[in-house]
């Protein structure tokens, strides 16, 4: 009898230990951290010291696992970065509020990439990181748009800082004296040369000689071209003939001409830029909004538009010039980072000066300041931090 009681007791003890062991494992499993795959990494802010750690940027749109240029526009009450009335660097053609634009909702959108959160621009941090450095924007009036935007964004962070502002043709500059940071603008809409010959003004698709020495020895170069390649008429386009190799032409397919001119630029960068000292960017193709059928409003232009398109794709599709840029950059020996602003800018049919550019026309090519170019610069700021 006593032996049976002892055996029964041992069996009950083993059963209890088994139950307790299982409960303990289940409890431990319940305590595992709840990791959400929806959490987005925050990219390192560009305030980090020094310009080292330069990653390979050959035509890349993705860095640190994040595609900065795939995302959507979201309402953000903290925008804009600055007040146009307090920035002394804005041209009238971009100062939409000064010329009577009545709505301000277009100022209240921030770009949100799908896979990460980009750091908010910090002008003081930018000046500290790039102390003693030189930044140059090279291109057309869209480069002017971006150059003035960056100047205003920095100025809003250090509004009492002493500056030297020189507006000239083709080279303008803005220097923040305490940190000795200079932002340059070099105006050359085609990047390649327009030369005076006996027949008139000749756009030479195979030459970059005029002024290119000014682009050398910069710490950051941001190139841009396309806007003028679509101009027609000798007054608007700024040339009378095109030189393509040994051929002198009245005109030619503009995409073909752009491809050849951009290839000449790429060869110049490969031969003349020391990428161990200079970060090189291409601004990407800035779109226009003159043709409403591209976003399913056939009778409309940018005039009167008050909000971005929703989603992350543009109904009108991609731009052929953007494909040329990607192809040329991918063929280069030197790494060039593509600021692929095209799609995110296509979504901003609301962000143009339209009739509020002070020139009496309808401008659906350039962008209000504050406005979209501030986002371009925030993406430049994020890319520089990677």
Could you give the CA distance from residue 309 to residue 316 in angstroms, rounded to a whole number?
A: 12
**pLDDT tens, position by position, 86-132:** 999 999 999 999 999 999 999 999 999 999 999 999 999 999 999 99
Could you give the CA distance from residue 161 to residue 133 in angstroms, rounded to a whole number?
A: 17
Peptide bond before 178: cis, by omega within 30 degrees of 0? no
Could you give the CA distance from residue 368 to residue 371 in angstroms, rounded to a whole number?
A: 5
**pLDDT tens, position by position, 155-169:** 999 999 999 999 999
Reported as half-sphere exposure (CB side, CA atoms, 13 A), residue 17 has a value of 6
Residues 281-310: what's their mean pLDDT?
Answer: 97
Query: Taking the model in full, what pTM does it have?
Result: 0.86
Query: Is the pLDDT at 385 greater than 90, yes or no?
Result: no
Confidence band for 235, pLDDT divided at 50, 70 and 90: confident
With both helix axes pointing from N to C terminus, report the angle between 141-157 and 372-384 in degrees, rounded to the nearest 10. Answer: 70
Confidence band for 11, pLDDT divided at 50, 70 and 90: very low
Confidence band for 45, pLDDT divided at 50, 70 and 90: very low
Query: Is the pLDDT at 60 greater than 80, yes or no?
Result: no
Confidence band for 41, pLDDT divided at 50, 70 and 90: low
Peptide bond before 104: cis, by omega within 30 degrees of 0? no
Query: Is the pLDDT at 12 greater than 50, yes or no?
Result: no
CB 149 within 8 A of CB 374: yes
Q: What is the mean pLDDT of the chain?
A: 88
CA 92 to chain centre: 22
| pLDDT for res 234 | 85
Q: Show the DSSP H helices in the chain as ranges.
A: 2-30, 123-129, 141-157, 234-237, 254-272, 320-330, 342-346, 372-384
Query: Is the pLDDT at 63 greater than 80, yes or no?
Result: no
Query: Is the pLDDT at 32 greater than 50, yes or no?
Result: no
Lowest-pLDDT choice from 166-170, 263-267, 358-362: 358-362
Residues 129-136: what's their mean pLDDT?
Answer: 98
Helix, strand or coil, per DSSP, at residue 16: helix
Query: Is the pLDDT at 231 greater than 60, yes or no?
Result: yes
| pLDDT for res 211 | 83
| pLDDT for res 43 | 63
Query: Is the pLDDT at 8 greater than 60, yes or no?
Result: no
**pLDDT tens, position by position, 324-337:** 999 999 999 999 99
The DSSP-derived string for 344-381 is HHHT-TT-S-BT-SSSSS-B-SS--SSSHHHHHHHHHH
Structure tokens at 160: 């009492």
Would you please indicate which residues are annotated as catalytic (active-site) residues? Answer: 141, 363, 366
Lowest-pLDDT choice from 13-17, 238-242, 293-297: 13-17
Structure tokens at 339: 């600021």
Percent over 90 (pLDDT), the chain: 80
Residues forming beta bridges with residue 18, ordered by sequence position: none
CA 310 to chain centre: 19
Residues 311-330: what's their mean pLDDT?
Answer: 97
Confidence band for 228, pLDDT divided at 50, 70 and 90: very high
The burial class, CB within 10 Å (0-12 / 13-18 / 19+), for 162 is exposed
Helix, strand or coil, per DSSP, at residue 84: helix
Structure-token match 């083993």, residue found = 14
| pLDDT for res 42 | 61
Residues 232-259: what's their mean pLDDT?
Answer: 96
| pLDDT for res 76 | 97
Query: Is the pLDDT at 26 greater than 60, yes or no?
Result: no
Could you give the CA distance from residue 224 to residue 282 in angstroms, rounded to a whole number?
A: 6
Could you give the CA distance from residue 150 to residue 126 in angstroms, rounded to a whole number?
A: 10
| pLDDT for res 4 | 46
């Amino acid at each position: 009898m006593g032996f049976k009681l002892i055996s029964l007791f041992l069996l009950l003890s083993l059963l209890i230990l088994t139950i307790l062991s299982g409960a303990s494992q289940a409890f431990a499993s319940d305590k595992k951290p709840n990791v959400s795959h929806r959490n987005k990494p925050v990219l390192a802010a560009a305030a980090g010291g020094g310009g080292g750690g330069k990653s390979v940027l050959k035509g890349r749109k993705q860095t640190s696992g994040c595609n900065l240029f795939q995302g959507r526009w979201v309402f953000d009450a903290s925008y804009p970065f600055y007040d146009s009335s307090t920035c002394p660097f804005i041209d009238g053609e971009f100062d939409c509020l000064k010329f009577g634009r009545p709505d301000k909702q277009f100022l209240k959108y921030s770009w949100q990439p799908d896979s990460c959160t980009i750091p908010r621009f910090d002008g003081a941090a930018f000046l500290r990181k790039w102390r003693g450095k030189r930044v140059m924007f090279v291109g057309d009036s869209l480069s002017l748009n971006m150059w003035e935007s960056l100047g205003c964004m920095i100025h809003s962070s250090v509004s009492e800082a002493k500056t030297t502002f020189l507006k000239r043709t083709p080279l303008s500059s803005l220097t923040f004296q305490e940190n000795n940071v200079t932002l340059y603008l070099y105006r050359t809409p085609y990047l390649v040369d327009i030369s005076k010959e006996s027949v008139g003004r000749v756009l030479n698709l195979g030459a970059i000689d005029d002024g290119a020495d000014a682009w050398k020895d910069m710490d950051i170069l941001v190139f841009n071209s396309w806007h003028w390649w679509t101009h027609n008429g000798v007054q608007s386009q700024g040339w009378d003939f095109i030189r393509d190799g040994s051929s002198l032409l009245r005109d030619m397919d503009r995409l073909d001409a752009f491809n050849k001119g951009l290839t000449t630029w790429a060869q110049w960068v490969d031969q003349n830029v020391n990428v161990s000292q200079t970060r090189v960017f291409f601004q990407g193709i800035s779109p226009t909004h003159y043709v409403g059928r591209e976003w399913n409003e056939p009778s409309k232009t940018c005039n009167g538009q008050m909000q971005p398109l929703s989603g992350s794709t543009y109904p009108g599709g991609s731009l052929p010039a953007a494909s040329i840029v990607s192809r040329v950059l991918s063929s280069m020996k030197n790494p060039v980072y593509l600021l692929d602003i095209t799609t995110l800018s296509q979504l901003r049919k609301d962000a143009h000066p339209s009739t509020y550019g002070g020139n009496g026309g309808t401008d659906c090519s350039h962008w209000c300041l504050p406005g979209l170019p501030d986002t371009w610069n925030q993406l430049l700021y994020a890319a520089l931090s990677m």
